Amino acid sequence: MESSDGRHRVTIVLTFHTSEQKKEKREMKFATTIGLMGMLLACGVARAAAPTEADVASAEETVNKVRAAARLLHEKGSSAYADFNQKDGKWVWKDSYVFVFDCRKDRMIAHPMRPDLVGKPILQITDNAGKYIFKELCKAGSEPRGGWVEYSWPKPGAGRLSRKISYATTADISFATGIQVSAGIYDEGITLPELAKVLEKMSDPAKYPAM
């Protein structure tokens, strides 16, 4: 609309201001959309990276793996040691793995994830709380049914210390005493009494038939 002096200043200013507002709204809408897309993408990645039951070793299968490893060592003796050093072998599964050590000679025999420990002394190894890990494993593994030990240890792929509870048992090998086999689970919630019940159940053929 034209003013009394013939100029269109007011109309032009109002039109320009309205255009800027529309531009700002478009930019805000675009930024919000990008932000939401980023959040959804991040959630999707986090969900994809979160471990599922299919990725996590259970207490039962860990005990079965350790006992199967002990049977193999009983049958093949020291010639089977190399099998447990294979990172891509059958003794590495889900988020767990079997390792073999000699309590009498104080040395690691096989470890698929830490080859640097093989042949090295183990009884003085402690976790961040000062627990002598392998002294406790040797003690638990010497029990008739074997036993569980809780400690801190790096979880494969996690890049940090995690709560680990390992089951250990003795391998009956000719001309070799003190050989033990172990594997563990990474579980923040399960208790040692609960694991003891699992072991008790699995040690009773009537309740848990041998596979």
Asked if 106 and 168 sit in the same domain, the reply is: yes
The domain in which residue 7 lies consists of: 1-50
Yes or no: say if 62 and 90 are a contact pair by the CB < 8 Å rule.
no
Q: What is the pTM of this model?
A: 0.73
Asked which of 16, 34, 50 is the last residue of a domain, the reply is: 50
CB 101 within 8 A of CB 180: yes
Please list, residue by residue across 79-108, b when 16 or more beta carbons sit within 10 angstroms of its beta carbon and e when fewer do: ebbebbbeeeeebbebbbbbbbbbbeebbb
Q: Are residues 164 and 69 in the same domain?
A: yes
Please tell me whether residues 6 and 61 are part of one structural domain.
Answer: no
Domain presence at residue 35: yes
Report the CATH number at residue 77.
3.30.450.20
In-domain check, residue 208: no
114-118, 121-125, 126-130, 207-211: range with lowest mean pLDDT: 207-211
pLDDT in tens, 6-48: 554 544 444 444 555 555 555 444 333 333 333 333 333 333 3
34 and 85 co-located in one domain: no
For 170-200, write each residue's pLDDT tens digit: 999 988 899 999 999 999 999 999 999 999 9
If asked whether residues 158 and 135 sit together in one domain, one would say yes
